[in-house]
Structure 1
Amino acid sequence: MSKDNIEMHLLSGKGCDIMISPMSASYVPSEDEPNTSEAHRHDYYSLFLLEKGLIKMFVDNECVMMSGPSVLLVSPEQVHHPSESSVIKGWVMAFDGKIIDREVISSLEHSNSEICVLELNNNDLSFLNNLLSNLHSCVSNRISAPFEKNLLHSMVSSLYLKLANIHWSKNLHCEKASKSRSVQITQNFKFLVRNDFREFKKPSMYAEKLSISVTYLNDTVKKITGFSATTIIQQEIVGEAQRMLLYTGKSVKEIAFDLGFEDWKYFTRLFSKVSGRSPTAFRNDRKIIRSEY
């Protein structure tokens, strides 16, 4: 392991905010996309719809086995790469997360460390296949019309709304999505944590940004997620630390400093408390697990 940083593939700068193509063995959504066989992450969201065949992919070093029909959603922070595939058919799509309403994305992901895979029935597969096929046709034959961009964005939004409903139907024990103040506060808090956890480590800092009290923030987040605000922050910190331990050659000290900790020993204690083992033990253990696949 010699990399100092996790490789980042960029959608920004390509002059588009949506890329889509039929699935190929390389999972590449465009001909000029960088090599995806090595571990990497994006500055955009990715969707892999498998209609038939078999895909083995690593997401944050977890082995994900897809045997169609199913959908894998990958967020910008998650490190991933394909391992193997067999007789695959489906779609690969990449898009700017700004297209999708924050509430819809939040309903599909509780934290950056979670992997979202949805199994599809025949009706769901038919609906998504038709939508992706039409989206691909529009992207491939994009015309200079006044509402063309709006049309494309609405199709991506419709796709994710359908996936959110599928996810909800498979998790009926979860509280129904709503636009209540509690849900909105929790979604905004998680959005801030995702972007600012390197700088802000305490709930009070986020409460100030949200113009609410720390007590109200904690009570609200606990009610909606089942976790305290502190736990959500720590999960994001440790999740990113785990990626850096797995996919870079940086030392524990370097990782601690990159994540905004002046005291690397304190970072080590925090990591050990949250994950149940030290950073070094985690790195070594995951190497052993990975070698078994």
Structure 2
Amino acid sequence: MENKNTRSVSEFNTELKLKGFNIFQIEKDGNATKVYSRKDFYKICLTTGKSIIHYADRSFEANDTILFFGNPHIPYSWETVSSTYVGYTCLFSEDFLAPSDRSESLQQSPLFKIGGTPILKITVEQREFLNSIFRKMIEEQQSDYSYKDDLIRNYIHLIIHEALKLQPSENFDQHKNASSRLTSVFLELLERQFPIESPEAPLKLRTAQDYASNLSVHVNYLNRAVKEVTGKSTTTHITERIASEAKSLLQHTNWNIAEIAFALGFEYPTYFNNFFKKITGETPKSIRTQAA
């Protein structure tokens, strides 16, 4: 049974990356839960049930039907409270929407940006309408229609526009300990940058300023919060995580050292060598030799 589930997850990930989108129904028994690379895909969920959603530095408790918009660049977590939980999920990559020339505005949308409102309460009438759109997307996903990708893009934009017309939910609760919540968001965002899967897709966030900009907070505020909660600076966390990833790539891939340096955001291999030796006390070459 475990092997079948593993293959199912693997097949889902492969198909999702290949197509750039996937729409599925959330079943009552929870068997429709999918595992995927959250750092690559936007997410729209229409769900009915009780849950607690943590999004950036805010938390929201849902008891009825909500429409949720997840940005891969903003950490979030979802706690399902009720035993019955139903709805639909649509996953899509930024590249999938690129043909419509609208993807550049996604991160600026009030539904997807970090200071925006990604959760909306839905009435029974609105739920029926949105359910029909999700069902149509699932039908098209399974069809042989040559232009189904274009049609699914239109459905996604229709959902986004319908959401923009709704009043945002105001039932967000600021985390009781703002420093703790911001630190949690930072650490999750840091971890989400890994693993590095290809030298052609290098690490994008490398400095404390990069993370502060991504989280829409001042870098000094981020530094104070992280230092207060963990005792380490933001830069130390980033440096240690990059060094850990470097060691893993040296031990478990056949990429040459120059490729690993580039993948981790270093302009020259010498910069990477100096960084790695300063942090670990060893050279990249010595780690590679030990792994051989």
**TM-score, structure 1 normalization:** 0.50
- Listed as ranges, the matches of 1:93-242 within 5 Å are 93-98=90-95, 99=97, 101=102, 102-103=104-105, 106-109=108-111, 111-112=113-114, 114-139=116-141, 141-143=142-144, 145-167=145-167
- 1:271 is aligned to 219
- 1:280 is aligned to 227
CA spacing shift, 1:63–1:135, aligned 2, 3 Å = same
| Aligned pair partner of 2:186 in 241, 244, 249 | 244
TM-superposition CA deviations, 1:191-249 (whole Å, max 9, x none): xxxxxxxxxxxxxxxxxxxxxxxxxxxxxxxxxxxxxxxxxxxxxxxx99763335668
- AA partner of residue 281 (structure 1): E
- 1:54 is aligned to 50
- 1:81 is aligned to 77
* Alpha-carbon distance, 1:95 to partner: 1.0
Unaligned 5+ segments in structure 2 are: 1-11, 171-180, 192-204, 211-217, 232-292
Does the 8 A contact of 2:50 with 2:63 survive in 1?
yes
Q: Distance in 1 between matches of 2:208 and 2:149?
A: 39
Equivalent position SS for 1:258? coil
CA spacing shift, 1:119–1:277, aligned 2, 3 Å = same
* Alpha-carbon distance, 1:60 to partner: 3.3
* Alpha-carbon distance, 1:75 to partner: 0.4
Does the 8 A contact of 1:11 with 1:96 survive in 2?
no
- 1:44 is aligned to 41
| Aligned pair partner of 1:64 in 60, 63, 66 | 60
Query: Identity over aligned residues, as a percent?
Result: 10
Q: Distance in 2 between matches of 1:60 and 1:10?
A: 25
Equivalent position SS for 1:20? strand
Q: Distance in 2 between matches of 1:127 and 1:105?
A: 26
Question: How many equivalent pairs are there?
Answer: 184
TM-superposition CA deviations, 1:152-196 (whole Å, max 9, x none): 21111111111112248x89xxxxxxxxxxxxxxxxxxxxxxxxx
TM-superposition CA deviations, 1:66-115 (whole Å, max 9, x none): 22211111101122333233111111111123427345763424733545
Unaligned 5+ segments in structure 1 are: 1-8, 35-39, 172-238, 250-256, 263-269, 285-293
Q: Distance in 2 between matches of 1:91 and 1:15?
A: 21
Does the 8 A contact of 2:67 with 2:119 survive in 1?
yes
Equivalent position SS for 2:146? coil
CA spacing shift, 1:12–1:165, aligned 2, 3 Å = farther
Does the 8 A contact of 1:104 with 1:161 survive in 2?
no
| Aligned pair partner of 1:20 in 11, 23, 36 | 23
Equivalent position SS for 2:166? helix
Equivalent position SS for 2:50? strand
CA spacing shift, 1:12–1:81, aligned 2, 3 Å = farther
Equivalent position SS for 1:43? coil
* Alpha-carbon distance, 1:45 to partner: 0.6
Does the 8 A contact of 2:70 with 2:112 survive in 1?
no
Equivalent position SS for 2:18? coil
Q: Distance in 1 between matches of 2:105 and 2:13?
A: 24
**TM-score, structure 2 normalization:** 0.51
Q: Distance in 2 between matches of 1:275 and 1:166?
A: 32
Does the 8 A contact of 2:183 with 2:229 survive in 1?
no
* Alpha-carbon distance, 1:19 to partner: 0.9
